[in-house]
Amino acid sequence: MLRGMCTVAFSLALVLLNVSVKEVCCFGSQGNCLPTSNKCTVSDIKDARFTYDEDSCHGPENWYKVHSCWYLCEEDRGSRQSPIDIETEEATTDKSLTFSFSDVCTRVDAEYRNCGSGHSPHFEVKGSNNKKIYLSDVPNTPPNTKYVLDNVHIHVGQEEDEGSEHSIDDTFWPMEAHMVFYDSKFPSLGLANSLVAMMVMIEIDGSPVAPDVEATQDCDVRFASHLDFLMRTHFGNSDEYSFFEDDSDDCTFYDEECVKPKCEGGEHLKISPSDVLPSDWSFYSYRGSLTSPGCNEIVEWIALKCPIKVSSVAFNALRNIPVNGGSTLQTHGTRRPIQSNELPIQKNFDKEKTRQHPCPK
Ligand SMILES: [Zn+2]
């Protein structure tokens, strides 16, 4: 995700880290050494590119080499890197943990944004003059801090049954939805230094091989009908877009000379967190990072205990979104590998359900 957590918008969340960075370059056939002012501002990293291709010079193992501002992506460099395996037996229970929405049942105006970059396309909430959705009372955040919903996006994998970034007790799901919120004291996601990411695992309706772990056995897996509609409608029409400004045969995504991804967007839609949330709002939380460059350790993660499900048509529409150069999202997936740091995890439930989905179906 968190373009960044997962597409460009998220990688632009590199804000004045006030660190000393040294010049590093991505070596290899696709490598280039990007100029940097060492300030890690939005303008400093605007030309940096990353991919989920594990064999690429720009892949997850090498993100830290692409730009010096992405140093936290280096293995064992950071202290709270995401994604992680959520070991449910290790989570400590605190039933006072909660979160609150300003208005979770009303959908707000948004746009479909797809840059053909091999990153997750976004359902991006529209800016200034439109109604916003605020999240507050988030664990481990300062009192009275409100977070604004910026976008919803969904991660997917090369393998059908391993598309989530996080895992629960070493089990992956076909997809993982992220709802990304930024501290409302800042004017935009790209300038914020504090984010909240809510993640929801997604299953495929009717699939004979649904993930089966004890931690989710008592879940009533809700069919997310509006999210399913948005995925079928917008992901399914992505092949109508023309991604190339110059589509001559010898262009590749990383040839800055000839290819600048055009972020197709503007398709109007309406979305609400309620379209993504499961029936049961029990959750785990931990302090982590962006799962895309620059891997900034500024994210409070809320991981919903229970999954939702969408249709196989919606799932395949996501996997088959075209990527510059002729592949599709499923070619490399859109997931950062699990990070090895063992982070303390809290949960707000014991056995019983905590809060039920409040919106009409
Ligand atoms: Zn994401």
SS3 per residue for the chain = CCCCCCCHHHHCCCCCCCCCCCCCCCCCCCCCCCCCCCCCCCHHHCCCCCCCCCCCCCCHHHHHHHCHHHHHHCCCCCCCCCCCEECHHHCEECCCCCCEECCCCCCEEEEEEECCCCCCCEEEECCCCCCCCEEECCCCCCCCCCEEEEEEEEEECCECCECCCCEECCECCCEEEEEEEEECCCCCHHHCCCEEEEEEEEEECCCCCCCCCHHHCCCCCEECHHHHHHHHHHHHHHHHCCCCCCCCCCCCCCCCCCCCCCCEEEEEEEECHHHCCCCECCEEEEEECCCCCCCCCCEEEEEECCCEEECHHHHHHHHCCECCCCCEHHHHCCCCCCCCCCCCCEECCCCCCCCECCCCC
Q: Cα of 73 to ligand 1 centre, how many Å?
A: 15
Q: Cα of 352 to ligand 1 centre, how many Å?
A: 29
Q: Cα of 66 to ligand 1 centre, how many Å?
A: 20
Confidence label for 45 from pLDDT (cuts 50, 70 and 90): low
Q: Cα of 153 to ligand 1 centre, how many Å?
A: 6
Q: Cα of 7 to ligand 1 centre, how many Å?
A: 8
Higher confidence at residue 96 or residue 237? Answer: 96
Calculate what percentage of the chain has a pLDDT beyond 90: 55
Catalytic residues: 119
Q: Cα of 355 to ligand 1 centre, how many Å?
A: 24
Q: Cα of 181 to ligand 1 centre, how many Å?
A: 11
Domain ranges, ordered by start, for the chain: 82-341
The reported pLDDT for the residue numbered 20 is 40
The reported pLDDT for the residue numbered 15 is 36
Q: What is the pLDDT of residues 120-145, one digit of tens each?
A: 889 999 876 778 999 999 999 999 99
> Which of 3.10.200.10, 3.20.20.70, 3.40.50.300, 3.30.1360.100 would CATH assign to domain 82-341?
3.10.200.10
Residue 68 has pLDDT above 90, yes or no: no
Q: Cα of 342 to ligand 1 centre, how many Å?
A: 20
- Specify the pTM: 0.86
Q: Cα of 249 to ligand 1 centre, how many Å?
A: 31
Q: What is the pLDDT of residues 76-97, one digit of tens each?
A: 999 999 999 999 999 999 999 9
The reported pLDDT for the residue numbered 264 is 60
The reported pLDDT for the residue numbered 250 is 43
